[in-house]
Amino acid sequence: MINKRVEAAVNEQIKREEHSSRLYLAMASWCEVSGFPGAAAFLYAQADEERMHMLKFVHYLNDRNGHALMAALDMPAPEYKSLHDVFEQVMKHEEYITASINELYGISFEEKDFTTANFLQWFINEQIEEESTMRGILDKLNLAGEGKSGGLFHIDKDLAGMAAARATTTGTTAE
């Protein structure tokens, strides 16, 4: 039976991963109606990944004799100021999730639940990768500056390419 404190913390993480998925879905939807089809495809794919993360935690908790719960979620913001604003918020959110995974790792250690700590290793590596991807996109957007310039058009095309590459490696499509 999984430790009760670890179970509660994993359930909190399930909520955060599901919220991440909905947040990226809201951002994808805004990009889609704002003339950024590449960013939309990228964020739809990212929303799918976050749902997959949520499911990993759900199965893990239930396999350890815990009970994964589906909490109520707040509505994510529907509007964004710019593509730059979207990815600045993505970056902040990923940093928040990294801190949250680290906190969960700390709780697992305190409770001597080394099985959960070991399970979390995959997420720790995943967060390194995601933060680096998002930082790269944000750097390009910073270089392009605000406004709908040619630079933004190219970044949007790059994002479409990244979404397509991801779909071929995971076997999913963003559409």
According to the binding rule CB under 6 A, does residue 166 interact with ligand OFO? no
Pick out residues in 16-35 that bind ligand OFO (CB under 6 A). Answer: 17, 20
Q: Cβ contacts of residue 140 below 8 Å, gap of 6+?
A: 155, 158
C-alpha span between 160 and 163 (Å, rounded): 5
Rounded CA-CA distance 145/125 in Å is: 31
Q: Is residue 156 at the binding interface for ligand OFO, with CB under 6 A as the rule?
A: no
**C-alpha span between 92 and 108 (Å, rounded):** 25
Size of the site for ligand OFO (CB under 6 A): 9
Q: Does 100 bind ligand OFO (CB under 6 A)?
A: no
Q: For ligand OFO, what does the binding mask look like between residues 38 and 67, x meaning CB under 6 A?
A: ------------x--x--------------
Q: Does residue 11 touch ligand OFO according to CB under 6 A?
A: no
Alpha carbons 61 and 79: distance in angstroms, whole number? 35
Instruction: Please choose, out of 59-67, 81-89, 126-134, 165-173, the segment that lies near ligand OFO by the rule CB under 6 A.
Output: 126-134
Neighbours of 21 (CB within 10 A): 21
The footprint of ligand OFO (CB under 6 A) covers 17, 20, 50, 53, 94, 97, 126-127, 130
